[in-house]
């Protein structure tokens, strides 16, 4: 695998389910990001991690819970989501926080019923 990978690519869940999104980067980067992409809206930054430490939590509801066990892996744990949380969730990485070019994964298309 190369670049940034995300699993699953598609996820359908009910409002009472608990699920997790996984992101893995194979680039040796130190920073990782979660974004939410909704139709016709700018990308919304959700969380930023640097060397496994969270540096930004952009006013995201607590039903989204990130986890970064090491600099290569990033998870987004989901529980009791709402239909308006349906979106494409993108993971990205960059060399360091000061390096501004980000490399994106293919995203997870999430549908909340």
Partner 1 sequence: AQTVTQSQPEMSVQEAETVTLSCTYDTSESDYYLFWYKQPPSRQMILVIRQEAYKQQNATENRFSVNFQKAAKSFSLKISDSQLGDAAMYFCAYSRTGGFKTIFGAGTRLFVKA
Partnered with residue 66 across adjacent β-strands are 76
Of 51-80, which residues contact partner 1 (CB under 8 A)? 55-56
Token pair recorded at residue 98: 């000061």
By CB under 8 A, which span of 14-22, 44-52, 68-76, 79-87 interacts with partner 1?
A: 44-52
Q: Which of 26, 100, 111, 112 binds partner 1 (CB under 8 A)?
A: 100
> Of 18, 14, 22, 13, which Cα lies nearest the Cα of 79?
18
Minimum CB distance to partner 1, residue 88 (Å):
10
């Amino acid at each position: 695998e190369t670049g940034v990978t995300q699993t699953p690519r598609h996820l359908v869940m009910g409002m009472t389910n608990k699920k997790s999104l996984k992101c893995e980067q194979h680039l040796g980067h130190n920073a990782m990001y979660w974004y939410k992409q909704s139709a016709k809206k700018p990308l919304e930054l959700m969380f930023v991690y640097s060397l496994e430490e969270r540096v930004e939590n952009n006013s995201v509801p607590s039903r989204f819970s990130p986890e970064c066990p090491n600099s290569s892996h990033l998870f987004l744990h989901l529980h009791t989501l709402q239909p308006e949380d349906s979106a494409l969730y993108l993971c990205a990485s960059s060399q360091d926080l000061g390096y501004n070019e980000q490399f994106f994964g293919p995203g997870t298309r999430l549908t909340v019923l």
